[in-house]
Amino acid sequence: MPLSNEQHNALMRMYEQKQLKSRDRLNRRYEEIYEKLPAVKEVDNMISFLSVNQARKLLAGDTAALEELKKEIHNLADKRSRLLAAAGYPQDYLEPVYECSDCHDTGYIGKNKCHCFLKAAIDLFYTQSNLQEILSQENFDTFSLDFYSCNYIDRLTGASSLDIAKRALTVCRDFVADFDSCFHNLLLYGSTGTGKTFLTHCIARELIETSHSVLYLTAASLLDIFQNRALDREDLNESAYEHILDCDLLIIDDLGTERSTAFTVSQLFVCFNERILRKKSTIVSTNLSLDDIKSRYTERIFSRISSHYTMLRLVGDDIRIQKKLMNREAD
């Protein structure tokens, strides 16, 4: 996915710092060598002098003299390498050292983004997602259906907790697979500890790994940003607000735990509605029932959710309690 101007500029500033670091390191090495080995400095001065002459001969069209100058410069370069080696230095000690030897820390090879740039973009998406640590533990590879029972029957649908979880897992995997071709939103709701947040993490991991910008916020954190923006028009708050509206995937976790006011409800509507208009996907997880969402957030918000979101209800025993019991038995 394309980077925003702000994200691209952040990465290019990082590459500028890498280049400055490389130049500083090389300058320090030159100072060290010139102090310890004055003969190397003399050779470099001669190479510079001959290079200027070489350029002049080239401009004058004197190809015969040009070939002779090339040989002299080559011999001097060999002498420089021997001087360094004799003093115990690597022959390439006075060559630039880059973190990426392919693009020389520019981020680009010709007009194409270097592989290191793509990796840096993914790292940036991880950092901006607020999920950098947890996604190594919570992803599709570690998601387990063992915590869902075929004996736990949902009173509303008559389906088992296991069957409901299997369907939710399939929908979440399809959400990832179709992300670039279809505009989808998800609402994961149900009782506490049934894996709703875990599934949002699974989706986030897959999309970040394919260079999509993902932002995870609790509902309380999201509304804090809205509140701060309303009170303080600093660029930082405006930038965070725009990222909320424009990131590829916004995850709002624990909807219903925030302090609800007329202002926060109106801001949630703006957020949901604007992302729908921009066709930017959103995932919401909540312990609230559909009736609770409707009564707490007004008909307008519920209408947007019911019209534009796939609703996944998860049921079952609290997985966190199950894990604690398993750990006790293991001890």
Encoded tokens for 305: 């959710």
Q: How confident is the model at residue 63 (pLDDT cuts 50, 70, 90)?
A: low
Out of 3.40.50.10860, 1.10.275.10, 3.40.50.300, 3.40.50.11400, select the CATH number for domain 130-330.
3.40.50.300
Dist. CA 109–CA 331, nearest whole Å = 55
- pTM strictly above 0.75: no
Q: Rank 6-20, 71-85, 189-203, 230-244 by mean pLDDT and report only the highest.
A: 189-203
- What confidence tens digit (pLDDT) does each residue in 278-311 have? 999 999 999 999 999 999 998 999 999 999 999 9
pLDDT of residue 122: 81
- How many Å apart are CA 115 and CA 112, to the nearest integer? 9
pLDDT band at residue 85 under the 50/70/90 scheme: very high
Share above pLDDT 90 across residues of the chain, in percent, rounded to a whole number: 58
The C-alpha atoms of residue 169 and residue 171 are separated, in whole angstroms, by: 5
**Gyration radius of the chain's alpha carbons:** 30
Lowest-confidence range among 125-129, 171-175, 242-246?
125-129
Token code pair at residue 275:
């992302």
Range among 19-23, 48-52, 112-116, 238-242 rated most confident? 19-23
- State the chain's mean pLDDT as an integer: 88
Residues in CB range of 17: below 8 A, 6 or more apart? none
Q: Which of 167-181, 203-217, 316-330 has the lowest mean pLDDT?
A: 316-330
| CA separation for the pair 146, 199 (Å, rounded) | 15
For residues 233-238, average pLDDT: 56
Distance of CA 205 to the CA centre of its chain: 10
Per-residue confidence band for 10, with pLDDT thresholds at 50, 70 and 90 = confident
Note whether 284 and 305 are within 8 A (CB).
Answer: yes
Which burial class, exposed, middle or buried, applies to 307 when counting CB atoms under 10 A from its CB (0-12, 13-18, 19+)?
Answer: exposed
Q: pLDDT tens digits, residue range 114-157? A: 988 888 888 888 887 888 788 889 999 999 999 999 999 998 88
Q: What is the mean pLDDT of residues 50-69?
A: 74
8 Å CB contact between 242 and 213: no
